[in-house]
Structures are given as structure tokens and as C-alpha cells.
Structure 1
Amino acid sequence: MTGLLWEYDGYDPAEERLRESLCTLGNGYFATRGVLPECAADAVHYPGTYAAGCYNRLASEIAGRRVENEDMVNLPNWLPLRFRPAGRDWLTPDTAPVTEHHQVLHLDPGVLERRTRYRLGADGALLVRQLRLVHMAEPHLAALRTDLTVEGRTAELDVEAALDGSVTNSGVARYRDLDGRHLTHVETGSAAAPGTVWLRCHTRTSDTAIGLASRLAADVPVSDGHDALRAVQHLRLSLEPGRTVTLDKTVALHTSHDPAISDPLRAALDHVADAPGFDELLTSHITAWEQLWRRAELDVPGDPGRILRLHLFHVLQTLSPHTADLDVGVPARGLHGEAYRGHVFWDELFVLPYLNLHLPEVSRALLHYRHRRLDAARHAAREAGLRGALYPWQSGSDGREETQELHLNPRSGRWLPDHSRLQRHVGSAVAYNVVQYCEASGDTDFLHAEGAEMLLEIARFWADSATYDEHLGRHRIRGVVGPDEYHDAYPGAPGPGLDDNAYTNVTAAWVLTRTLDLLRGLPEPRRRELIERTGLEEDELARWEEVSRTLHVPFHDGVISQFEGYGDLAELDWHGYRERYGDIRRLDRILEAEGDTVNRYKASKQADVLMLGYLFSPAELHSLFAWLGHRLDEDTWSATVDHYLHRTTHGSTLSGLVHGWILARARRTDAWGFVQEALRGDIADVQGGTTGEGIHLGAMAGTLDLVQRCLTGLETRDSELWLDPVPLPELSSYGFSLRYQGHWGVRLRLRHGQLEAAMPKASGPTPIDIRLPDRVVRVGPGEKVRMRLPD
């Protein structure tokens, strides 16, 4: 195996959860954390295997209330393989002397390698070498090769392999007061095929059936010894010094969500019986990864390029071509852990713009996830007394609101009301993703059908949410929470919610105008069908036009206000709090533990107003504000950026990304620090322990998109590629390929102030127009064009 490595040397219990997340292997269908196979769940390690879209709902008693939560289920653990000198304790790095430990994630082939040397008394050692894969070509297969070598003296070794159905969801400390026992009716047994055992179970309430089968290949007899929750295999090895014994464990996983099967266990048994040996599996797995890397080619030199490669690796493991066949959304923490319960938030806003230009079929499937839950969003709007579609802040299996009503402040130990479900701007994110996908892919079929229906219902919701204020002479959207999340109420107010969040109102105006434009341009037969299907009335369109022009955007002191009344809040003693606490990313928890509330202060958790500069180019943002009756000049925007830069704690990994993006386009000298924070967010675990609970998928994908769209100024509109590069000194040379409106393998490269664009001969039948600020360049199939950029 060759290619880029992500390596860890030495064993450090404090770092294990982080390593396990970053060494997760997956294929878009399921993923398994990078835990050592001999280690069980405890205070150090957390084995976890998660299938995309596999959820279960349980109720718990918390703070005197019955609370329901739906979780992405931790499935039976297929990894267990442990060993010990005969008659002695099982070896783990936590219980036995380790003289060498090395873990290597091979990014190009998608393989995890480990090498550990255990000391056996004064004169011996056991060397354990393992290769692991979760197959990228065969999404239901995984495999583990284990080489065992005794050094110094002969040894009798007991080995136990298992499928473990005793697992629970317990990987996030603050959720452990909640019921995490999602599996029931666990059964185990042995198959007729030699060396093969099986396990089946169901989820407790969603009744998803799960089947696993494991084939253990060894040169010695294997005996079975199952217990109630584990399918177990035993073998004894007589090892001579220097002689290596190899054990290959191949596993198949199916659930009742899978198409074209009658029974998950039968499918798993058939699949594992037909699976080739480890070497052949490894070859086909590497080939599948090679094909995937070609589709997502990204060439950035130096350490930033290495980190971006890791980010791309985890994005592709969570959302691979296999995802296109599934009914799943974008899990905010990947398939890497249990934080956020595996829910779908707005993170697709940061993920789909990247996927659109590489795996558009995956983007389409992720948007189908939203369309299939449109009826649930309509129901939520009706429950709120409004027309249209109200998408949930947190979504899971069926599209209902999954946001918890209570959350734990671990600093104070108190359970507090959670009002984050008032972040209704998630609907605008869905609409934005529909438009972005269709512009990049040219998929007018989707735009005119499912996309148009979603846009219409989201626009209808925003128009119905707006109330006219006679005093202001404008429409207002009241009682919401913005992306900031810190502010969920006015100081001393009896109830939650804020009025006229600027991000919410501006994006709502954008949705209304884009939807009106789309309806005007629809073919008449489709327009008629859509109007009949949705019951759209003509007077609604006139109202949409009016609301889109008159939504209130508050200002204070010459800058855009985060919400109405923001300018009246108190200033925080930033210096004092930083001196007292050091890390104040979670200022809300700090203040609540002190008996105070962040609602009193001009302090933001993450980018809110500035998100507008992330979504829209300067020209588009100025045009939007002009449509709303405001002049947004460069001085006002620059002052707004400064205002919030000094009042944001970056309590979300998305915040550094957004700030780096904005500054890269507006103030390059200040951008690199934020870009670095975005790049290092997970690998350095800057949020203080959160990465061990699952990677931050939106932030990882956002760093890829920062190179792809931000630094190049790339936009896909009017059937042209618009480019306006602004290279950072630290990222001035890079290249990538993309798939644009049916053209495969379009390559862009920037270096030394020169932009190179190339199309393969077989990329597509027509040329592409590339629009630069000062000219338009046409690139045809088989052509390469070099363009000198202005200084």
C-alpha cells in the first residue's frame, strides 16, 4: 500500500477516543470506529458500528419529565478478537505491558493498520499486526486480518473472536442518564459453513431487523461457544518463536432496510459465504477507492493538503456512491459516533456544495431524503398554525422534530430547556441546497419536480410566518432562533424566541424571490400540475413578492443587527472571562453555571449575520439588500464583519470555517488563522473532547469547499462556471477536478498567478464557458487553457 498516511505512535489512553473517531472506516452504508479489537467499551475505549439511517426511539425519565429521543443505533460489534497466554488474563494495552504501539490510517486504500508488541514475562513478547477494511465496493462486507508472532520463547495462545450483541448507546457522557439499550431479541448460532457464526437482533421500537455473519479462517480447529448475547469462537495456537499465524475474520452486515432481500440474517450468511479471501477483498476494495479518489481529485501541497485529504476521506466514507441508494440525510457527526444522536441538522448546507461537483447523484439522494419528509414538514407547519413546510432543526427517520426539549449543562449539572427547535432557518438551507445542486448538475428534471415542490412550500411557510408591522411599514418574522444558538430569548422575557433575526429574514427573502423566478420559468404543464398538487392560489404569489421586498432587517450603530434589539444588549467583559476561564467557546454554559445568561450580552457562539457572506457572493448579497430596500456598501459590510469578529466565541467548528471564508474574500491577511482553526478543528479536537464523540462532517466538507469555491470564487450560474480567484499566500497553489453539468473530469489548477482549465476528450459533447471578472474563456473537450490572472 502506498499513499498518504495518518499515523499515531505510542499508546495514550487520553487520546484513544479521538483516535477511534479519526480512524473510523466506512463505505456510506455503515462505518466502524477505529477501536482496538481486543478492547471493550469502558472509560477509555468505545467500539461503535453505525448503519446509515438506522434509528430507534426510546423514552427516559429526566428531571421529573418523560423525554423521548431517537438515536442512530450502535449496532452489534463485529470487531472483537482478543488473545492471551493460555490460562492468563486477556491482553489489552490498559492491562498488560506494551513496548510498541503504532496505528496507521492508509488514506488512499482506506485501510487501518495497527502494530502492537505486548511483553510476555521477562523473555518473551507477542507482536500483533492487523489490517482492517470496511469494503468500499461491497457495502455489506468488512474484514480484519490478524498476524500473531511470538518472540523469545514458545507460547500457547488462546484466541477468542466474537460478534457482540450486548452493546448499548453510551458513547456520549451527557446522554448516559438516558436509556441507551436499543437492541432486543438477540440470538446467536453457528452456520453449516465451517468457521461461520451468526447473530441477529431487532431494534426495540423501530423494529429494524439486523443480521451479521462472521467467517473466521485459521489453520487450526475453531470451536464455537455462544452465550446469550455473543456469538463466540475459540481457538488455541501453539506458536514457535518467529513463526507468524494469520487469522482472517470476514463479516457481512444487513438490516431489514436493505432492498432485494427477504431476511437480513439469510442475506448476511449468503454474503459472507460468497465473499472471497482477504487478499482478494483488499484488492477490490483498493480499486473502489482509486475510482472514488479520481472523482474527488484534490491536490493541495503541504500540511494543509494532508489535512484536507483526511477530511475528504471521512466525507467519502460517510457519503459515498452507496449513499445514493439509501434513504438518509447528512448526519452532522458522520457515522463516527453518537454525538447529536446521529441526527440530521443543517450541515448539508456545508456538505452538498462540495458533493454537487463530484458526486451529484449523492446530492440528489440527500435532497430526496428531504422531499420524502415534505409531508412531515407540512404537518409541522400546520401544527404551528401556518401554511407551507416547516423542516425540523433535527431530523431522523421520519422527518418529525427530533430536537430534545431539555439539555444538560455539564458545567452546572442542570437540565435546562432547549429552544433550538426555533431555528426555522433550516428550511432556507434546504432551498439553498436545491438551487445549488440544480445549478451545478443541470438537473432540470429534479428542479421542476421535487425541487420546485420543496421551494414552493418553504416559500409559502416564510410568507405565512411574516406579519406586517404598521409602525415599521415592514413585515417581521418573530419568535425564532438564529444560527448563533446562544441567544434564544430576550433578557427577562417570559418565553423563548427572538424577532427579525437578520440571517433568517434575508434568507427567507431569497427563498421567496428564487421561488417566484422558478415558478415563472416552469413549463406550463408542470406549473399547472404543481399548482394543482399544492393548492397554490394566485394571491399568494402577490403576497410573496410583497413580503420578499419588505422583510425587516435591523441595524444598529451602522452595522447589521443579529436580531431586533441586539444593539440594546450589554457588552461582556471579554478580557475578564478569558482571564478567568481561558477557553470560553461554551460561554453559554459558563454564564449559566454562574447564575447568569448569555441572552444579556452581545456575544455569539458562531457566525450568524456573517453566514450571509458565506452563502452569497458580495454582488448577490448587495443585490439582496437592495431588493429589501437597504444599501449594503463595502464599508457597512466591513464594519459588520469587525463587530461580530470581536464578539464571537467560535463554540462551533463551523464558525472558524465561515469566518475564514469571509475574510479570505475580503481581508486576506486576517483569514489564515481562521482557516487553520477550521483545518485543525477535529484533528486537534479544539472543542475539547467532542471529536471523540464523532467528527464534525460539515466543517470537514466546508474546508474542501473553501478550496473549491471560496479561493477560486467559483459559482455555477447561467450555465457558466464563474471564477474570481483570491489565493491566500498560504494556499496559493492547488488543483482539483470536478463534474459539471454532465462533464466529467474538468480540471482547474491555480499556481503562480495563472489559472489552468482542462477538459478530457471524452468529458462531454459541448464546451464549457468560464467567466472571469474581465473576460469569458471557452474550453472544449480535449483542450487546456491557461489564463493569467490580474494582480
Structure 2
Amino acid sequence: MPGWSVAYDGIDPEKERIRETLCTVGNGYFATRGSAPEAVADAVHYPGTYAAGCYNALTDTVAGREVVNESMVNLPDWLATRLRFGDGPWFDAGSAPLTSYRQTLDLRRGVLVRDLAFRDADGRSTRIVQRRFAHMEFEHVGALQTTVLAEDWSGTLTVRSVLDGESANAGVERYRELSGRHLRVERAEVLDGDTALVETETVQSRLRIAQAIRTRVARDGDGRAPEFRPVADGSLVGHDLIVPLEAGRPVTVEKTATLFTGHDRAISEPAEAAMDWLGRLDGFDALLVRHTRAWRHLWQRCRVDLGRDEEAAEALRLHVFHLLQTVSPNTVGLDAGVPARGLHGEAYRGHVFWDELFVLPALTTRLPHVARSLLGYRHRRLPAARWAARDIGARGAMYPWQSGADGAETSQSVHLNPDSGRWLPDATHLQRHVGLAVAYNVWQYYQASGDREFLVERGAEMVLEIARFFGSIACYDHARDRFTLRGVVGPDEFHTRYPGAETPGIDDNAYTNVMTAWLLERAGALLKMLPTARHAELSEALGLTAEEIELWGHVAQRLYVPFHDDGVISQFAGYDKLDELDWAGLRARHGDIRRLDRVLEAEGDDVNRYKASKQADVLMLFYLLSADELHGLMRRLGYPWEPSSIPRTIEYYLARTSHGSTLSTVVHASVLARSHRREALRYFLEVLRSDVADVQGGTTAEGVHLAAMAGSLDVLQRCFAGVETRGDALHLDPFWPAELGHLEFTMNYREHALTVRINGDRVLVDAVPGGHAPIRVRCRGESALLAPGGRVAFPGSAEGALAGQ
């Protein structure tokens, strides 16, 4: 269907790994990269299957120090299937004399289709069609269907269908010097006539994983059974199926796989569950019907249509598709967070950063139960965050910059600069602002869902403990009569120390300080919202005193925010004293300078010396907070800051940003939406291209940039459509580019399923019938009550009216 598929023709060895990432099929529980079933890990291909929350740690010696790296584990390959025609070699599409080759990802149904044909040296023509999916309803199930048609010849087909237990993590080149064998094979055997089982265990975390496969053959109108020969070669087990081929009569082979781990609920043990499920599952077509229905239900909740730019609409759907393959209703109940690169590859070792700051807005207003589950992941790691705070002499909870299995800090202590080949100290763990993102998401989830039960029982505890942490690390500066936050790293990431300093960290990152003021105010307001009994419980359990709460209020009003002499917010204290960078000279020498830090280090220079940012830092304030909200915060902090300075601040930092992160274009598209709509649209379209075009030169092969994908939907909704959830009302203030025609999307606000349609400056909001109380909708100063099954319209100006309405 037009606009609902992504297709690749031919084989391009240099781009196959990128395509494999973008053609990943997943369901929120596990995902499998889009590699060919016959492919093995080599310079062209990289098969990979990853289960949410499945981590293991290995130890290496790097640059003279012991380094522990925890990674999301690449599991045994269930997809492994090879074909042989007659007595010939095993088929390999990369070396076969192809007459056609197309791979199509069906976004509507979540199915990857591979359709190819070849003519061998004897002039025989053969066509192969393969379909696969990771089942969206039965989250433990994957399936591959292979149909072979001998068009003008007869002979024998051998299908080798196996589970390959010899897997390792080797998908990121800069990690390959480090250990990657995370699994120990405990059991690998052929069972009855058409099934096989592999059990593995992670070598450090001791997580048991069981995978089983079942392979069956169906001939068109022929009931003859194929010959099954067991294959047992160490940890590679399965069957060779020998099937007679007749010209013009297709043969279909169905491979069904199950995957369970020791983390799963409602099972006795993984191997038994894998076999039980396999024995009860229907065939490929019946499974596909249920899988397609589950995707149809998801798209009903997550639909987005752009009127005139079908290419942009398709890219946006691809982003939503991969978001839902990583975090879906199947994620609910799992102990899994938001891996920065999805379940699509091994970059960042599958770690959880602050990416849910960009991901949860899209989920909260579409799949609030999934957003709640992801916030629960953070709540379960509150003890680890408390211990981390205690280890640095602070109170409350300090969430880590990177985490994996248990919420402990997993940031690397050294990192490799591929441009210079040197291992360098890494201080990005000083990004304390992760806790601010967690607290912000708790509050935004409550505003959109009205879920007081979560806020009272779990959300409040997180917000209060994060507030306590920032309140405890705020230092009073007598000379300024203000509080400061020292030794941190901001979202920019380039600046990890002052030039020439031996100790890492910078002081008074403006984003961190202002959002801390926001957090401390929210914590105070939240305490007043709590029921009396819960307030008393938390106060006693946390040891909250009136004096500490009073201190939070004082800090919230006296945090230091650095400014340039012209009133522009300074990224951090001392930023204005850094050197200006010769951007033109660097671009002339290197071309792509997105990763400016690596480029300068390879030249023997240091990015810490310059006014240069990897991505938005100060501008994150305009992304997260409305102009009115930020103005109020600044006023209460005692600064005469005015929203009129926002465009000047944007232009200042835009000129000094290398966009070394895909998140940079997300934030810039957002903050430019009000003042420079065409520039905002350019950045928005760049976000849509980021993975499809692999704009960072090879990074997409290592996994999608999930926050950018979800962020594109957030930019569309929050910035261009102007959707905000605050003050017990749904706010819309659209700045939608006319060149994109109308915008229509579905969303959820306080249990109401809504459809929002914007054309020009006219807005229509329709609600699905139900038994809910009416909601308040506000748009450009107007206000209306929307009842279930009703519609509200904000007509706007005459030229913006919808044609025919």
C-alpha cells in the first residue's frame, strides 16, 4: 500500500547492514535484524536477535586498566535457514546470478518480505519468496515462511533449518577488541521429527534463555511428506528437509520459533515453555492473521497522516513502527527500559540513557499503559539510584547516565576515538540531568493520563528523592548569594571539564540548574497534592522534614543561572571565556565535523577549549518548557529574562552546534517552530532522514536512533500541532507548515481516544464515544468542553478554514 512500505532493490554490500537495521522485525519483547536467513556475520551482514532487558557483563583490560562492559546480548540465531538445489552449493544471494531482488518492509502489518529470482549456469530459473515477523500478539513467537518455485525445471530442494547457538556480540567495530562471548551453551539437541531446542545461559548474569524451532513443509496440492534428516553440529541443531521440486509447483517451508528467558513470568522454566508453546501454535498463515490484527489495533492508536508529503509521512510511519517494535504493549510487565538504539543493534551496548525524555511523550499520549510500565522500570531502580547518591556523599536518588540490568552506572570509563585510535578518559557519567528527565516524565505522564494512583504510589517517591538529590548537591555561594551545582556535564556532552583542568566536570550548566528549579517547585506542589495519609507515609519513610522542604523552596528561588553580557543564557559558568572555533576551516579540512570532539582530538586539540556543542543544551529549556513557564521560573529565580530573547539565544547556539547527535535536529526543529517555521521544517525533515539516509555515516548499521525516531513524532505533535497537557486541560496551539497540507493524528488524553485534524489554522478534535467525563480543550485563547462522541472546532482565520467544512 502506498506510503506503508519501505523497499530495497538489489544487494548493496556497503549498505546491507543499514538495511538490516531498518528492516528489523520486533514486538517489544524481542527483535530480529533484517539479515538474510542464510547470512552469517561477516563484512557485509550481521544477524542479530535481542530480547528486552537481557544483559550480561564482561571484563577486559584496556589502556592498562580493568574495564567492565555490560551489554545487551545477541542471542542464538533462530532465523538461520539455507537452501540447496540438487547437488549444488548452498544458495547465497550475494553470489547467485540474480535476475531480480527486492526486500520490502510492510509497515502496516509488520512483515518483512524478500522476493528474489535467479537463473543458474544451466539456464534454470528459480524464484524464492520469504516472509517473516516477530509476532505482535504472541510476544515469544517468530516465524519465517520460505516459498520456492522451480519455474522451468524439476529436481531436489534441501532446506537446512537450524538454531545456531554460536552467537556473539560483534556488531560494532570499535568494540571488537573487547570480549563479546556472552553466552554459554547448556543444551543443544534435535527433539522429535521437526523440532530442535537450544538452551544458553549468560556467563555473568546467569540468565537462562531457551529457543525452540519447528519446521514443516507444505507442497501445493501434494501430500507427500518430505524427508527429515537431523542436523547436530555442536551448538548448531535442526534438520535438513529434502523435498522434490516439480516445475511450476511451489514448495512452502514454515519455520516457527519460540523464545523464553528466566525473566519471564507465568512459566515453569524457559525450555519447557518454549516447547509447550511450539507444540500448540498454528501454522504461519493463522499466526499472521492474529499478528496483523494486533498491528492494526496499534496503528489505530498511533495513526498519523500528512496531507501532501507522502515521503515524509512514510518516514514518520517508519519511525513510529520501529518505536512500537522496541516498546509496545508487550513491554508492559517486563523489567525493561528504553534502549537508546532500540532492539536493533549493539551500539551503546543496548544501554538506557535519558532517551525516554523524547520517547515517553509519544507513548504517554497514545499508549499510556506502556509509558507507565517504563516509569515503573525507573521506580524499581530507585534503590540503586539512592545508593549511587550516597556513594558521592549526597542524599536522595541519583539516576545513572547509562544503565543496563540493575540500574547501576554502566558508563564507560574510557572510550575509543576511531579517528585517532586512542582510548580516552570518559567523564560523561557526570550528566546528572538524567534524574531531571525521569521526574519530568513522571509529571508529564500524570498531566496527560490523570493517573493519580501511579503518581501517589510511585511517581511521588521518585520525584521527591530526585529533588532531594539536587537539593543536597546545591552549594551556597556567599559571593553571589546563590546556590550552584558544580562538577556536572550538560546535555551538550562535549564539555566535560574546563580547559587545562585535571578534574572533570563544569559548573552551573544552565539547563541542569533551571530544570532543577523546575523540579524543586514541582516537588513542593506534589507534596501538597498528596492525600494526607500518603503524605505522612512518605515523609516518615523518606525522613522528610519541614526544614528540608523549606530548603528546596529556597534553592528553587536562588539557583545561579549564568548569562552572557548581552542577556543570552550562558551554557555554563565560564562558557563565555572559551575560544571561538574556526568552523569554516575545520569543515574545509574534514568535511563532516558532526563529531567535532573526535576531529579535534585527532588533531591534538581539545573541544573543551571552544564555544561548540554536540547538540542542544541551553535550547533544551525551550524544548521542554513553554515560554510562559520558563519566564515564570526565571522571574521567581530573580532574573529579568524575557521570552523575547529566545530567537536571539537560538541563533547564538545554532551557529555553534555541530549536530553530532540525531537528537540535535529534533530539538532545533522544535524550538524553531514558532519563529523560523521554514528552518524548523528543514530540521524536521532532517530528523525523518536521520536513519533512513544514515546521515551520521555508518551509525544506523549499529541500531536505530530511537529517541530521534520518537522525537520526530513529538516535534510534530508538541511543536507543530502545539499539543500540551497542563492545568487539567488539553492545549493546542498549531504552527503547522501549510506546505505539508493537513495534519491528522490519533492520541489519548485522560482515557479519551481522540482524533486531531489541523489544516491551516483550523483545528478539529473528535472524541470516541464512551463513559468518561468531558475534557477541557483550549486553543489560542478559546476553550470548549469535549464530551465522549463529540467534536470541538476552532475555526481560526478565514484563509485557514478547511475546504468544504
Decide: shared fold, TM above 0.5.
yes
**Which residue matches 2:405?**
397
| 1:733-773 deviation per Cα after TM superposition (whole angstroms, max 9, x unaligned) | 11111111122x211101143111111222x4221211122
**Which residue matches 1:466?**
474
**Which residue matches 2:269?**
263
**Which residue matches 1:330?**
338
**Which residue matches 2:15?**
15
Q: CA deviation at 1:671?
A: 1.2
Q: CA deviation at 1:315?
A: 0.7
**Which residue matches 1:252?**
258
- Residue 372 in 1 paired to residue 380 in 2? yes
- Residue 784 in 1 paired to residue 795 in 2? no
**Which residue matches 1:199?**
198
**Which residue matches 2:136?**
136
Q: CA deviation at 1:344?
A: 0.5
Mean alpha-carbon deviation: is it higher for 151-160 or for 467-476? 151-160
| 1:346-395 deviation per Cα after TM superposition (whole angstroms, max 9, x unaligned) | 00000101101111111111001101110100000000001011000001
Q: Out of 734, 743, 751, which is 1:742 matched to?
A: 751
**Which residue matches 1:498?**
506
| 1:451-510 deviation per Cα after TM superposition (whole angstroms, max 9, x unaligned) | 111111111111111111111111110000000001101100111100000001011111
Question: How many Å separate the matches in 2 of 1:568 and 1:649?
Answer: 19
Q: CA deviation at 1:634?
A: 3.4
Contact 2:513 2:560 in 1 (8 A): yes
Q: CA deviation at 1:3?
A: 7.0
One-letter amino acid of the structure 2 residue matched with residue 237 of structure 1: V
- Residue 773 in 1 paired to residue 772 in 2? no
For the residue of structure 1 that corresponds to 2:657, the secondary structure is: coil
Contact 1:105 1:113 in 2 (8 A): yes
**Which residue matches 2:537?**
529
For the residue of structure 1 that corresponds to 2:379, the secondary structure is: helix
**Which residue matches 2:231?**
225
One-letter amino acid of the structure 2 residue matched with residue 462 of structure 1: F
After TM superposition, the structure 1 = structure 2 runs for residues 275-290 of structure 1, keeping only pairs within 5 Å, are 275-290=281-296
Q: CA deviation at 1:624?
A: 1.2
Contact 1:6 1:106 in 2 (8 A): yes
Mean alpha-carbon deviation: is it higher for 506-515 or for 709-718? 709-718
Which runs of 5 or more residues in structure 2 are unaligned?
218-224, 801-805
Which runs of 5 or more residues in structure 1 are unaligned?
none
Contact 1:2 1:108 in 2 (8 A): no
Q: CA deviation at 1:146?
A: 0.2
Q: Out of 565, 568, 587, which is 2:577 matched to?
A: 568
The alignment covers a number of residue pairs equal to 788
Q: CA deviation at 1:156?
A: 2.9
**Which residue matches 1:412?**
420
Q: Out of 477, 485, 492, which is 1:484 matched to?
A: 492
Contact 1:62 1:177 in 2 (8 A): no
Q: CA deviation at 1:572?
A: 0.7
- Residue 583 in 1 paired to residue 574 in 2? no
Question: How many Å separate the matches in 2 of 1:708 and 1:634?
Answer: 22
| 1:524-545 deviation per Cα after TM superposition (whole angstroms, max 9, x unaligned) | 1110000011011211011111
For the residue of structure 1 that corresponds to 2:144, the secondary structure is: strand
Question: How many Å separate the matches in 1 of 2:598 and 2:460?
Answer: 41
- Residue 667 in 1 paired to residue 680 in 2? no
Q: CA deviation at 1:269?
A: 0.5
For the residue of structure 2 that corresponds to 1:237, the secondary structure is: strand
- Residue 624 in 1 paired to residue 644 in 2? no
Question: How many Å separate the matches in 1 of 2:741 and 2:431?
Answer: 37
Contact 1:607 1:658 in 2 (8 A): yes
Q: CA deviation at 1:657?
A: 0.7
Contact 1:469 1:475 in 2 (8 A): yes
Question: How many Å separate the matches in 2 of 1:669 and 1:630?
Answer: 32
**Which residue matches 1:67?**
67
For the residue of structure 2 that corresponds to 1:666, the secondary structure is: coil
Question: How many Å separate the matches in 2 of 1:354 and 1:232?
Answer: 42
Superposed CA RMSD in Å reads 1.3
- Residue 209 in 1 paired to residue 208 in 2? yes
Q: CA deviation at 1:786?
A: 2.1
- Residue 430 in 1 paired to residue 438 in 2? yes
Mean alpha-carbon deviation: is it higher for 502-511 or for 146-155? 146-155
| 1:228-278 deviation per Cα after TM superposition (whole angstroms, max 9, x unaligned) | 111131122332222211100011111111101111111000101100011
Question: How many Å separate the matches in 2 of 1:337 and 1:323?
Answer: 18
Mean alpha-carbon deviation: is it higher for 551-560 or for 591-600? 551-560
Contact 1:214 1:251 in 2 (8 A): yes
One-letter amino acid of the structure 1 residue matched with residue 103 of structure 2: Q
Q: Out of 654, 673, 686, which is 2:663 matched to?
A: 654
Question: How many Å separate the matches in 1 of 2:135 and 2:251?
Answer: 24
Contact 1:165 1:186 in 2 (8 A): no
Q: CA deviation at 1:780?
A: 1.3
One-letter amino acid of the structure 1 residue matched with residue 405 of structure 2: S
Contact 2:628 2:643 in 1 (8 A): no
Q: CA deviation at 1:552?
A: 0.7
- Residue 238 in 1 paired to residue 244 in 2? yes
Query: Which TM-score applies when normalising by structure 1?
Result: 0.98
Identity percentage of aligned residues: 52
Q: CA deviation at 1:150?
A: 2.0
Query: Which TM-score applies when normalising by structure 2?
Result: 0.96
**Which residue matches 1:34?**
34
Contact 1:431 1:458 in 2 (8 A): yes
Q: CA deviation at 1:646?
A: 0.4
One-letter amino acid of the structure 1 residue matched with residue 43 of structure 2: A
Mean alpha-carbon deviation: is it higher for 315-324 or for 150-159? 150-159
Give the 3 Å change call, closer, same or farther, for CA 645–533 of structure 1 in structure 2. same
Question: How many Å separate the matches in 1 of 2:449 and 2:39?
Answer: 45
Q: Out of 546, 556, 568, which is 1:548 matched to?
A: 556
Question: How many Å separate the matches in 2 of 1:3 and 1:682?
Answer: 17
For the residue of structure 1 that corresponds to 2:133, the secondary structure is: strand
One-letter amino acid of the structure 2 residue matched with residue 761 of structure 1: P
Q: Out of 294, 301, 304, which is 1:295 matched to?
A: 301
**Which residue matches 1:595?**
604
Q: CA deviation at 1:614?
A: 0.5
Question: How many Å separate the matches in 1 of 2:409 and 2:558?
Answer: 30
Give the 3 Å change call, closer, same or farther, for CA 472–732 of structure 1 in structure 2. farther
Mean alpha-carbon deviation: is it higher for 693-702 or for 553-562? 553-562
For the residue of structure 1 that corresponds to 2:255, the secondary structure is: strand
For the residue of structure 1 that corresponds to 2:102, the secondary structure is: strand
**Which residue matches 1:102?**
102
**Which residue matches 2:221?**
none
Give the 3 Å change call, closer, same or farther, for CA 138–364 of structure 1 in structure 2. same
- Residue 722 in 1 paired to residue 735 in 2? no
Mean alpha-carbon deviation: is it higher for 213-222 or for 49-58? 213-222
Mean alpha-carbon deviation: is it higher for 705-714 or for 87-96? 87-96
